[in-house]
Amino acid sequence: MCNFAIRRNKCYFKRVYSVSRMNVRRHDPLRILMVALAFCVWLRFGGEVRGAQTYDFGFIPIGATNKVGGFSFAGGTDLFMQSETFIGPNAADFQTSSNYAGQFLPTGQNHLYSLSYIPQTLGFESAALTNYETPDPPYGGGILYLQGVGMPVSRPGSGPVVPELAPLESAMTNFLVAHNFEAGTLALMKDSKLVFRQGYGWRDNNFTKVIHPDNLFRLASVSKMLTASSIYKLVAAGKITTSTKIYDYLGIQPWGGVLGDSRITNITVQHLLDHAGGWNQYNYNPPFDPVFRTVQVSTNMGLNYPATPTNVISWMFSKPLDFAPGSTNVYCNLGYLILGRVIEKASSKTYMDYIQQDLLGNAGLTNILGFTNVVQSHSRPGDLAPWEIWYADIPQYLSRSAVDFPTNINVRVIDGAGYYEAFDSCAGLSGSAIGLCHYLQNYLEGYTARVPGSSFSWGYLFYGSLAGASSILSQNITQTSSSTNGVEFAALFNERYDQVEGANIAAYTAITNAIAGISSWPANGGGMIQWAFTTTNINKLGGFINVPLTRTGANNLTVKVSYTTYSLTAGSSNFFPVSGVVTFGSGVTSKNITIPILNDRVIDPTRQFSLELISASGGAWLGDNVTCVVNILDTNTPPTLPGQPVILPNGNFQFQTLCSTGLIQTVQFSTNLIDWQPLQTFTNANALTGFTDTNSIGHGAGFYRVVVP
C-alpha cells in the first residue's frame, strides 16, 4: 500500500510497500494499492465482511432442483430452495421458487421439529418453527438437527471406472439407492493388489460435493479387528499372553469396592477375544449393553463427567456374570473395551497411539492428502476429523447427550447421545477404506501379522453397525511361498438400515455377486500403475500441466486404468476438471495426463487439486501413489507505485501502478475510506500502467485505491 499526503503547491510522500488484506465472502485475499489525498491522512484496514449465518433444513437443499441437481421431491416440478436463514428463536426465512406450494411436516422419522409454511410468491416467506422439546441450547449456532425428507436420485461416483469392473459400480450404486443411503466407499484388492477404490454419493448433507474415495467413516465394530490384531502383536512381542488374567493384570477396582462375581478373576485375554468373558448383553429386557449406557453409568456412579472406558469396566466389575468365563460365546462389546485397556497397560501408550504408531505405522496410516487414515471417532459433528463424512440417522430422535454429560442437552444418537470417544477399542475408530486395505495387506483380519513367504489360508468376514454407520471388512485369501490368491475389501457407509445387519448383508451379497462375474484381475504382464510422484507444482500462467502415470514390472499385456481430478482448494476458475480411462498398450510404461490450468486474473494463494486413480483392469493393479496433489502457484505481484503522483496543469490527477500483467484492476475513489466509487476497471497489458482522473477537481480531496481481486 502506498500512502501520499498532498498539499496545493508541494507533494510530500512516503512509500509503504505492503499489501492490505480484506476478508471477502469467498475468503480470497483482496490486494489493494491506495493513493490518499488530504492534509492529514489515516488509513485503517482489515474489516471483515460477514453474511448472516444460514442453516439448511434439507427439505430442498439450497441451490438444488429436481431436474438440474438430480433430486426428486413431491409437491411440484423444478422445486427450488434458494436460501434458508434463522430470523429469531422460533422462525426462519425461506426464499423459494414461486411454484413451491409449501408443506406441513410434523415431528417424526425424518425430522425432529414441525415446520409449517406456505410461500405465496418468489421471495422470502416467514415460517413458524415449533418442536415438542425445548432445545438446549436454544436455536442458534448449535442447531444441527433439522433434516428433511428429500433424497438424491443418484449417488455419483468419485470418478470413472474401467468397464471390466463395472459390476462393482452397479452393485454399490444399486445398494445405496435401494437402502436410501447417501454415501459409501469401497476399496478392493485381488491377490492383495489394489484394483478398485471408489466413493459414492455426497460429501455434504446438501448433496453438493461428490465424495472422495478416501473419506473417513465410522468403523463401528470393525474397530474390533484392529484391537484383536494389536493384542496378538503384543503377545508376539512377549508383553502379554492369551492366558493373562485381565482382572489382576489391569488392577481396575470394582465400583463400590466389592467384586460382583468371583469368576471375574478367571477371565483371560483369550476369553475376551472369543466373546467368552461371561457377559450376555442380551439377557436384559430391553437389551442392556453397558458400553452404550454411559449416561446411566455416570449417573449411578455419581460422576460429573462422561463415563470413560475405565469407569464402565469398574461399574461392570461390581455386577455378577451371566455365565462362567469360557463356557460359551456371546457377542460382547465390553470384552473388547477391556482389551483396549490391556493394550494400554502392555504398551505404555494410549490405545489410539498404539493403533496408529505400532499396529499401522506411517506407511499405512498417513494419506497422501495429509490426513490420517485411521483416527479416533468423535461424537459431536463439530469435532469430526476434517476428512470425515457426515452421518445420517434413521429413525431420528433426540436422546440425552452422553458426550455433554452432566449438561441436560438432547441430541441425535449420531451427534453425541452415543459417546464414541468411550467406544474406542470396541467400536470407536473412524477410517478410510484404503486405510483398512493397508491393514489387510499386513495382517490377517482380527489376527496376527502376515509373514511374507509363509503358507496359509484365511477367511474372515466382519460387520460393524451403529447409528449412522455400517461397515464391512472381508478377507478371503490363500498364500504360498510364491503367490497370494483371493479377494479382500472394505465397504463403508454413513447410515444404518436396521440393527440386525440387514444392510451389511445386502451390501456384502451385492459386492460378492459382482466379484463372481469379473474375470479381469491382476496378472503377470499387467504391471503396477501409479502416479510418478505424489505432489507437483505448476504456475497459474503455465496453461497446462502434464502429470505422468508410470507402469512398472512385466508389461506385455494391454491394460486400462481410470482416473479423475478432485478439487481441494482449487475451483473451476483455477483448473479444468478431467477424468477418463487410459489404455497402456503392450510394452508401454508411461502415459501423460494433461490438465488445463486457468488464469483467473486475480492474485491467489496456492490452490490445490488432486489426481486420483480409481480402478485398473486387464492384468494391471494400482500402486501406492494413487493420489498426486497439484499445487497451482501464483507468482503475480500486487500493484505498487513506482514514482510520484502528480497534479497536471489542467487539474487532473495522475499516477502509475506496477504489477504483473494480465490482472483485473479497478481504480476506486472515496472521500471517507468507507464508501468506494469505481472509476475504471481494466486488464493491464503492460506491467507499468498509467491512470488519469479527468474529474479529480469534481471529486475534491479524497482517496484512491487500486483493487486486484
pLDDT for 149 equals 32
> What mean pLDDT is predicted for residues 133-156?
41
**CB-based contact 99:70 (threshold 8 Å):** no
**CB-based contact 608:569 (threshold 8 Å):** yes
pLDDT for 287 equals 57
pLDDT for 188 equals 98
**Residue 651 banded pLDDT, cuts 50, 70, 90:** confident
C-alpha cell at 566: 478432485
Given a cut of 80, is residue 54 above it in pLDDT? no
- Tell me the per-residue pLDDT of 424-441, one tens digit each, with 9 for 90 and over: 999 999 999 999 999 999
Which uninterrupted H or E stretch holds 233? helix 223-236
**Residue 122 banded pLDDT, cuts 50, 70, 90:** very low
| Separation of alpha carbons 464 and 470, rounded Å | 6
C-alpha cell at 504: 451389511
Say which range, 261-265, 307-311, 329-333, 363-367, has the weakest mean pLDDT: 363-367
> What mean pLDDT is predicted for residues 470-486?
96
Could you tell me how far CA 444 lies from the centroid of its own chain? 28
Q: Work out whether the CA dihedral 94, 98, 100, 101 comes out positive or negative.
A: positive
| Separation of alpha carbons 418 and 292, rounded Å | 7
Angle at 272 between CA 315 and CA 299, to 5 degrees: 15
Measuring CA to CA, which residue among 443, 234, 265 is closest to residue 343? 234
**Residue 27 banded pLDDT, cuts 50, 70, 90:** very low
CA distances to 26, 159, 183, 498, 550 from 195, in Å: 38, 14, 21, 31, 16
Angle at 610 between CA 605 and CA 615, to 5 degrees: 175
**CB-based contact 626:531 (threshold 8 Å):** yes
**Residue 206 banded pLDDT, cuts 50, 70, 90:** low
DSSP structural state of residue 441:
H
- Tell me the per-residue pLDDT of 217-226, one tens digit each, with 9 for 90 and over: 999 999 999 9
Share of the chain above pLDDT 90, in %: 56
**CB-based contact 450:147 (threshold 8 Å):** no
Instruction: Count Cβ atoms below 10 Å from residue 287 Cβ, excluding itself.
Output: 11
pLDDT for 700 equals 65
> What mean pLDDT is predicted for residues 179-201?
94
DSSP structural state of residue 356:
I
Share of the chain above pLDDT 70, in %: 75
CA distances to 249, 264, 271, 277, 316 from 321, in Å: 19, 7, 13, 9, 9
| Separation of alpha carbons 543 and 523, rounded Å | 38
Given a cut of 80, is residue 50 above it in pLDDT? no
pLDDT for 699 equals 66
Given a cut of 60, is residue 15 above it in pLDDT? no
Given a cut of 80, is residue 145 above it in pLDDT? no
Helix (H, G, I), strand (E, B) or coil at 427: helix
pLDDT for 118 equals 37
φ/ψ of residue 497, rounded to 5: -80, -40
Burial of 400 (0-12, 13-18, 19+ CB in 10 A): middle
- Tell me the per-residue pLDDT of 312-370, one tens digit each, with 9 for 90 and over: 999 999 999 999 999 999 999 999 999 999 999 999 999 999 999 999 998 678 899 98
**Residue 236 banded pLDDT, cuts 50, 70, 90:** very high
**Residue 500 banded pLDDT, cuts 50, 70, 90:** low
What lies within 8 Å, CB to CB, of 258 at 6+ separation is 318
Q: Helix, strand, coil: what percent of the chain each, to 5?
A: 20, 30, 50
Say which range, 486-500, 545-559, 627-641, 649-663, has the weakest mean pLDDT: 649-663
Q: Which residue has the cell 436396521?
A: 498
pLDDT for 653 equals 85
| Separation of alpha carbons 269 and 276, rounded Å | 10
Amino acid occupying residue 320: P
pLDDT for 217 equals 97
Residue ranges and CATH numbers for the domains of the chain are 2-49+642-708 (no CATH), 71-140 (no CATH), 166-216+353-382+427-516 (3.40.710.10), 528-633 (2.60.40.2030)
Could you tell me how far CA 153 lies from the centroid of its own chain? 22
pLDDT for 394 equals 55
**CB-based contact 344:351 (threshold 8 Å):** yes
Question: Is the bond preceding 638 in cis, omega lying within 30 degrees of 0?
Answer: no
125 or 475: which leads in pLDDT: 475
683 or 313: which leads in pLDDT: 313
489 or 41: which leads in pLDDT: 489
Q: Which residues pair with 197 in a beta bridge?
A: 187
Given a cut of 60, is residue 109 above it in pLDDT? no
Given a cut of 50, is residue 550 above it in pLDDT? yes
Given a cut of 80, is residue 683 above it in pLDDT? yes
pLDDT for 261 equals 95
pLDDT for 698 equals 66
pLDDT for 373 equals 95
> What mean pLDDT is predicted for residues 622-643?
90
Count of positions (residues) in the chain:
709
Measuring CA to CA, which residue among 660, 663, 653 is closest to residue 709? 663
> What mean pLDDT is predicted for residues 83-104?
37
Instruction: Please give the full DSSP string across 153-177, using - where no structure is assigned.
Output: S---BSS---GGGHHHHHHHHHHHH
